[in-house]
Amino acid sequence: MKKYLLEIKGYIIGSLACYFLETAATAVTLFLPGYLVDHYLEGVGTIWYLVICYILAFSMYLIVCYLINRFSDYRRIKFEKSIKNDFFNSVIDKNFEDYYKFDVGEYLSMQANDITEMCQNYLSPLLSIYRSIMMIVVFGISLIVCVDFSIAIAIILGSVLASFVPQLTASKLAERNSTYLKEVGKYTSKIKTYFESHDILDKKSANSIKKVHQKDLESVLSRNMHFRKLNSFAMVLNGGSVEFIAVISFIMVAMLLYSKSITIGMATAAFIYSTKFIDPIYELNVNIGRVKSTKNIQEKLQDIICSKSSDSFKSIDRVEKIETNHITKTLGKTEINLPDMEFIYPNKYLITGDNGAGKSVLFRMLMHFYKLDNGEIKYDELSQVDVSLLNAYSPQYPVIFETDYYNNVTLYGTYDDKNLSLYETFFPDDLIEQVKTSTMSKNLSGGEKQVIALLRSLCSEKPVLLLDEPFSAMNEVTIEKFLSNLDKIKAMVIIIAHNVNNYSNYFKHIYNIYGTKHKK
């Protein structure tokens, strides 16, 4: 967190300065009532002087409180924005293996919930700890100088002892809070799937989903209750230790009044100070616990943000030949054995075969999403290369962003649109018109979404296009129109498909993958 605290150091310094002024103004307003009790007989001039001092101190307190709130708003927004931005960028930059250490729902929960909670229970409480310490010191000095040394020492010692009480429950609170947030991540992932299933549910299956969701909801809320149960006990324990200081103060003032060691005015000031002393001590205890409760969240977020991919492959953006030799890959209990293949630029290739034979697995290995168990993949005789600038990958289920046509096909302007008009001629005119006029691409049909995915791959202008089932939702007219323009694409095109058997003449070679798996 040090990096993010340094980014807002100006706001932190400003907040601490305001905390000091706030505390000083508060100390003055606490001292003046007792002083007035002891000196009101000195005349009207003294009374007016004290009234003016009180009004000035109170006015300064109000102004400083406003500045504190503004500093708090700015620092919190910038702190949260910086962490969320780094977290998002880090997740996007992860390689396939590291990315899938967490479910998408867990990432959503971390981005939307964990970071916000960490900011609420770390940044503000952390600064509030310094504010409480400042108030304890200033009020302590005021008690020693203006009221009575023995009362001050008793209250300060009691405060020090009370500050250790939160340590009794801090570790358990952090553990339970971390467990609860993990459950929230899993719940978010499940909810996403339940909502996505809406269109396939009938009344009977909808009731089943409702029952399953109820169990999931009860599970996550029981974790929350488990945390809150201990949190309630901790708050009572911390609050009780703080309130005990008021008991000490009451006994000390009573003894000093009996022995006539202090005036009635200073006894009044002592009571007011001791009452106000309780607030920063209580806040100190609570905020120490809140900061400690975020420890596990901090560690998880920092691990994700700071972890870097260990891959350091040579980056290439051109290739003449790709070869696969003796590739095997085990997924679960299934071992996939792929035939040796050779792909030459700018030829076009078709890959067919049984479901689950390993066609999509091949693409994931070509993209370095999966590591090979055995065998090798060579790019112009190089086996360790960064393919991010080389391969354009279009998965079975098109990724469609919640934006317009242009941003989808150019990936928010990442790809040049200089050849977009040409690529649009690869599809029927009425289909392109329908896709382009749609206000939100998310609302398109399956085939229309596949058109956008293909146009995006073409606009990338990468030398290798890996297209996984790009025609599964298209009609024959659209498929034939696209394939008839296949030779116009200046790239090595490798297509996985089931529904293009009648168009084999458009491909340089067809690789059939059959019977290449067995159960262990």
**What's the rounded Cα separation, in Å, for the pair 269 and 266?**
5
CB proximity list for 224: less than 8 A, separation 6 or greater: 180
- Is the model more confident about 359 or about 198? 359
pLDDT over 90 (residue 431): yes
Q: What's the confidence (pLDDT) of residue 439? A: 62
Question: Does residue 267 contact residue 257 with C-beta atoms inside 8 Å?
Answer: yes
The pTM assigned to this predicted structure is 0.73
* Tokens coding 386: 């960064």
Please give the mean pLDDT across all residues of the chain: 86
- Is the model more confident about 428 or about 204? 428
Cα end-to-end distance, the chain, whole Å: 47
Residues paired with 464 in a beta bridge: 391, 492
**What's the rounded Cα separation, in Å, for the pair 69 and 211?**
45
Does the N-terminal peptide bond of residue 280 adopt cis geometry, omega within 30 degrees of 0? no
DSSP letters, 166-195, are THHHHHHHHHHHHHHHHHHHHHHHHHHHHH
**What's the rounded Cα separation, in Å, for the pair 360 and 114?**
34
**Beta-sheet strands, E only, within 279-344:** 314-315, 321-331, 334-337, 341-344
Closest CA to 435 of 465, 455, 412: 455
In tens, the pLDDT along 241-258 reads 777 777 777 888 888 888
pLDDT over 60 (residue 520): no
* Tokens coding 454: 């293909």
**What's the rounded Cα separation, in Å, for the pair 237 and 232?**
9
Please name each of the domains of the chain with its CATH number: 2-306 (1.20.1560.10), 314-518 (3.40.50.300)
In tens, the pLDDT along 270-322 reads 777 766 766 787 788 778 878 887 888 888 888 888 877 656 678 888 999 99
For residue 144, give Cα distances in angstroms to 32, 270, 273, 441. 15, 10, 11, 71
Lowest mean pLDDT among 43-47, 80-84, 144-148, 298-302: 144-148
**What's the rounded Cα separation, in Å, for the pair 483 and 32?**
89
